[in-house]
Amino acid sequence: MQTANIIKIVFTGPESTGKTTLAKQLAEHFQTVWNAEYARSYLGQLGRPYKQEDILEIARGQLRNEDELLSKANRILFCDTALLVPKVWSIFKYGHVAPPLLKLLQERNYDFYFLCEADLPWEYDPLRESPNDRELLATIYRQELSSMSAPFVSLHGNLSERRQNAIATVNRLFAKS
């Protein structure tokens, strides 16, 4: 299949909201592949506290992995985060976004976003750092998606409800003709 015909669907939102689980489950349901969050492997091997420059490297790694998976995707590529996460994190943590990251954002398009809301219990993970800011971050994600005029649906409830709603949305919006 030509990679230009692949539908790219992103799970985005604050940490500990089910993005990875949902990307993996929907890829399995639709018999395709998913792009894991590159930040996890990058930060896990970094060996020092990350800096703002690392956010750009994370974005580039996320895109490299996405590009590699496009040829393996079966009609849909599910992305556990995308460039919106580094942008929101730059805004939240540093107060601004580096111009090269903004350029990457302008060059990359996605067909649909699922905004995973912060109504799941937060679970500890050594890479997570904002358990008390998830509602604020969800608001920033919502504002960014709206300002981009990006098509998105918010996912609420437990993981099973989120999964069912996401599958129904994908079927409704991207059903085969």
Q: The pTM is what?
A: 0.94
Q: What is the mean pLDDT of residues 80-95?
A: 94
At 106-147, the pLDDT tens digits run 999 999 999 999 999 888 777 888 888 999 999 999 999 999
State how far the Cα of 103 lies from the Cα of 124, in Å rounded to an integer. 33
For residue 176, the model assigns a pLDDT of: 67
Residue with token string 């990875």: 20
Enclosing domain of residue 125: 3-174
Q: What is the mean pLDDT of residues 99-112?
A: 95
Long-range contacts of 102-108 (CB under 8 A, 24+ apart): 104/59, 104/60, 104/63, 108/63, 108/82, 108/83
Q: What is the mean pLDDT of residues 42-60?
A: 94
Partners of residue 116 on adjacent β-strands: 155
**CATH code of residue 122:** 3.40.50.300
Partners of residue 152 on adjacent β-strands: 113
DSSP state of 4: G
Q: Please give the structure tokens belonging to residue 132.
A: 């008390």
Q: What is the four-CA torsion angle of 71, 17, 164, 6, rounded to 10 degrees?
A: -20
Count up the domains in the chain and report the number.
1
For residue 1, the model assigns a pLDDT of: 47
